[in-house]
């Protein structure tokens, strides 16, 4: 297996130390628009001849294809913002490589009823090309980070091993992370965070299909495990709601994120003054995207790990009828402690938790445990090998009865 990692930011850089401990790949090219970042990501492992740094423009599918052909790439891992999904997706296909990402192609709201009806949904552009990938015998494994990704694996595991009927698959994400020295320091890409939190959240119901609600709707307090405790969670647009119903039979699918009042207020203000916009405006003699300005003003999530403390939890709450015919409610989860990930790999907890899952998926593909063609989500595959390998990587998952 010869892997091209596109993006050497927080997640892309975190992929490298996790992967180098494993022997399943022959070569890994780490590429970024900023060649210095790519070089820094591989320089930590000077004795591992499998690693090479390169420069690439993720907005140009022809550049992705050319770099892939140059190095005989078999698998392209997209580790950049979702606005670059389609160029990388198309570039990988043109090069004859398989493709993985952790966030799917962007949505566009219904212009007339954005808080009622879906418009272009997350992943629609990719699924529209599924036939081409299948005909070519190639695989695009989409949404295989932590959320989406591990959360979807949990949903498949619940269907296969825990439930005979599922009422609801509800992704619940929360943390008690604190970043010392900053009044506001998101632990993940603010570009992506704004996108998913301010877009209309999507809900799936079996008798209704996909529909939308207003941002931050249906608040609930969820008690997260391993000392994180109660966190208020709200509806957020996320890929699981678009992926899970394709392979898991459930009456309802939701995604709720533990943001907190302060974070929600900041996002609302950004939206109120137009700083969430992505279209460029002219300021003096230059054109600039307001959202890019916000991202440039905030600390880089990849650089704040040594100031961060606490834990982050990703998990899937499933309710329904168990295999024994009785009502059942379980929370399958994965908790990561920032102190551990910083000490082990120099990566802060949120990006590390995102990065470990595509590495596991790559190993399952390399060993032939997972196989497939077309555009598929993690739910399309057997969950057990993935969860077993997650534990073997030294980061076990948990299951809490009662939710």
**Which residue bears the tokens 């908790």?**
335
Which pLDDT does position 191 carry in this prediction? 78
Distance, CA of 300 to CA of 37 (rounded, Å) = 13
Which pLDDT does position 135 carry in this prediction? 98
Mean pLDDT across the chain: 95
With vertex at residue 364, the alpha carbon angle to CA 361 and CA 368, rounded to the nearest 5 degrees, is 140
Peptide bond into 122 cis (omega under 30): no
The tokens describing 251, both together, are 């009456």
Which pLDDT does position 318 carry in this prediction? 98
pLDDT in tens, 140-188: 999 999 999 999 999 999 999 999 999 999 999 999 998 888 878 777 7
Least confident interval from 92-106, 112-126, 283-297, 326-340: 283-297
Which pLDDT does position 403 carry in this prediction? 85
| Mean pLDDT for the stretch of residues 39-64 | 97
3-state secondary structure of 7: coil
The confidence band for 14, taking pLDDT boundaries of 50, 70 and 90, is very high
Q: How far is CA 178 from CA 200, 268, 294, in A?
A: 27, 21, 20
Distance, CA of 281 to CA of 289 (rounded, Å) = 6
Distance, CA of 399 to CA of 403 (rounded, Å) = 9
The yes-or-no verdict on residue 326 having pLDDT over 80 is: yes
pLDDT in tens, 312-325: 999 999 999 999 99
| pTM (2 d.p.) | 0.94
3-state secondary structure of 303: helix
Distance, CA of 148 to CA of 128 (rounded, Å) = 19
DSSP state of 285: T
Q: In terms of DSSP H, where are the helices of 83-189?
A: 85-94, 124-127, 130-135, 150-157
The yes-or-no verdict on residue 295 having pLDDT over 90 is: no
pLDDT in tens, 186-206: 777 787 888 888 899 999 999
Which pLDDT does position 185 carry in this prediction? 77
**Which residue bears the tokens 């299951």?**
399
pLDDT in tens, 68-86: 999 999 999 999 999 999 9
The yes-or-no verdict on residue 304 having pLDDT over 90 is: no
Which pLDDT does position 298 carry in this prediction? 84
Which pLDDT does position 391 carry in this prediction? 98
**Which residue bears the tokens 């608040």?**
219
The confidence band for 263, taking pLDDT boundaries of 50, 70 and 90, is confident
């Amino acid at each position: 297996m010869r892997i091209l990692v596109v993006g050497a930011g927080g997640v892309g850089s975190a992929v490298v130390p996790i992967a180098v401990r494993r022997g399943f790949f022959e070569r890994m090219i780490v590429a970024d628009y900023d060649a210095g970042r790519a070089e820094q990501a591989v320089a930590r492992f000077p004795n591992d001849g499998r690693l090479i740094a390169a420069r690439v423009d993720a907005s140009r599918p022809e550049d992705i294809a050319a770099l892939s052909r140059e190095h005989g790439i078999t698998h392209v891992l997209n580790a950049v913002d979702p606005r670059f999904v389609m160029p990388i997706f198309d570039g990988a296909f043109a090069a004859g490589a398989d493709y993985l990402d952790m966030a799917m192609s962007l949505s566009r709201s219904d212009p007339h009823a954005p808080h009622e009806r879906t418009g272009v949904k997350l992943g629609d552009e990719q699924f529209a090309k599924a036939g081409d990938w299948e005909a070519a015998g190639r695989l695009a494994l989409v949404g295989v980070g932590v959320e989406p990704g591990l959360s979807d694996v949990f949903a498949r595991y619940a269907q296969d091993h825990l439930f005979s009927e599922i009422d609801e698959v509800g992704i619940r994400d929360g943390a008690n992370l604190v970043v010392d020295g900053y009044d506001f320091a998101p632990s993940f890409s603010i570009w992506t965070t704004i996108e998913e939190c301010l877009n209309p959240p999507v809900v799936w119901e079996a008798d209704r299909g996909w529909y939308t609600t207003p941002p931050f709707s249906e608040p609930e307090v969820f008690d997260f495990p391993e000392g994180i405790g109660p966190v208020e969670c709200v509806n957020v647009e996320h890929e699981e709601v678009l992926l899970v119903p394709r392979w898991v039979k459930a009456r309802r699918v939701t995604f709720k994120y533990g943001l907190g009042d302060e974070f929600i207020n900041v996002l609302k203000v950004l939206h109120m003054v137009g700083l969430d916009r992505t279209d460029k405006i002219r300021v003096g003699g230059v054109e600039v995207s307001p959202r890019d300005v916000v991202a440039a003003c905030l600390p880089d999530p990849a650089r704040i790990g040594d100031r961060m403390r606490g834990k982050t939890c990703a998990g899937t709450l499933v309710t329904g009828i168990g295999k024994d015919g009785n009502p059942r409610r379980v929370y399958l989860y994965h908790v990561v402690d920032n102190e551990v990930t910083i000490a082990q790999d120099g990566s802060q907890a949120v990006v590390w938790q995102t990065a470990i899952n595509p590495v596991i998926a790559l190993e399952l593909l390399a060993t032939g445990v997972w196989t497939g063609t077309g555009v598929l989500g993690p739910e399309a595959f057997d969950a057990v090998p993935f969860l077993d390998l997650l534990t073997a990587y030294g980061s076990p998952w948990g299951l809490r009865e009662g939710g």
